[in-house]
Chain A
Amino acid sequence: MSTRVGVGTKILGAAAFVSLGALAVFALVVAPPDERQGDAQRLMYVHVPAAWLAYLAFFVTAVASVLWLVPRTRSTTWDLLAGASAEIGVVFTGLTLVLGSLWGRPTWGTWWEWDARVTTTAVLFFLYLGYLALRRTGATAQERGTRCAIAALIAFVDVPIVHFSVTWWETLHQEATVFNRDLDVQFEGFWMPFTLIFAVFAFTLLYAFLVMVRLRLAELDEGREERQLEEAIAERVAVTV
């Protein structure tokens, strides 16, 4: 099995790197400061795409878990993809919480608030941290895959709760803004919405790159474990014969 990542992955990595560089320029230089929040609003260009990416990553984990659970489509790749995507989701959920806290301090006047959106996001972070811990528990590949797929689907229930928490409960966190015409908070000019859409695009490229590299690593680890097991069995057989 080749240990190298493919050309497509490298191109994706380069595209993500260039896009993120361009995003830094758009977000920190080109986009204007918000009329009410001032420059603190520039944190939106990393906070929102990080949260979007976490949703996307956990959605991919859920789909891959379903594909593992259905006997007709069961393949080790789905199990490994679920794990790879969940790990990236956890990184970006953690980032979302930290960036939200940094944004909350100048706008809400507090680093942390037990509001519905923030709390359910923290729950999401710990749920998937638990899922990653579960992946490390000893079992056969079949047992681990099934156990983790069920856990992933249970954890995914929290994703719509996080998303709709701002409409279901009274929260300090503002409601969805981009497609919400009723909200009194609106984007100004061209650069603000463009930068946000570009940020989501750049982070999605980054996700695609990271998930491909992480999946490759997971496949290599899986192959090495199988090889070590075969060697151990062969050694044992040689001793007994």
Chain B
Amino acid sequence: MDDNWGYVVAGYVITIAVLSAYGGWMWFRLRRARRADLDH
């Protein structure tokens, strides 16, 4: 196996982590907005 796989795996893990975190943050805010709308 190529020595560079560590960099490749790190790159793909970081990409997935960043996109998941950003998507999760938006989902959380949408839920909060929905709750606020129901309370109103």
Which A residues form the contact surface with B (CB < 8 A)? 1, 3-5, 24, 27-28, 33, 37-40, 42-43, 46-47, 50, 91, 94-95, 98-99, 102-103, 105-106, 206, 210, 213-214, 216-217, 220-221, 224, 227
Task: For residue B1, give the distance in angstroms from its CB to the closest CB of chain A.
Answer: 8
How many inter-chain contacts with C-beta < 8 Å in the A-B complex? 73
Are B4's CB and A214's CB within 8 A? no
Q: In the docked arrangement, what's the CA distance between A1 and B11, Å?
A: 40
Are B8's CB and A213's CB within 8 A? no
Are B14's CB and A217's CB within 8 A? no
Are A98's CB and B37's CB within 8 A? no
Are A46's CB and B2's CB within 8 A? no
- B37 neighbours in A (Cβ, 8 Å): 1, 3, 220
Task: For residue A24, give the distance in angstroms from its CB to the closest CB of chain B.
Answer: 7
Q: In the docked arrangement, what's the CA distance between A3 and B33, Å?
A: 7
State which of B3, B8, B14, B33 has its C-beta within 8 Å of the C-beta of A220.
B33
Q: In the docked arrangement, what's the CA distance between A213 and B34, Å?
A: 13
- A105 neighbours in B (Cβ, 8 Å): 7
Task: For residue B11, give the distance in angstroms from its CB to the closest CB of chain A.
Answer: 5
State which of A24, A106, A216, A221 has its C-beta within 8 Å of the C-beta of B7.
A106
Are A102's CB and B11's CB within 8 A? yes
Given contacts A39-B4, A40-B7, A106-B3, 12 further A-B contacts (CB under 8 A): A3-B33, A24-B12, A39-B2, A40-B4, A94-B18, A95-B14, A99-B14, A106-B4, A210-B26, A213-B26, A217-B29, A217-B30
State which of A43, A106, A217, A227 has its C-beta within 8 Å of the C-beta of B26.
A217
- B4 neighbours in A (Cβ, 8 Å): 37-40, 106
- B40 neighbours in A (Cβ, 8 Å): 227
Are B15's CB and A46's CB within 8 A? yes
Task: For residue B37, give the distance in angstroms from its CB to the closest CB of chain A.
Answer: 5
Are A28's CB and B12's CB within 8 A? yes
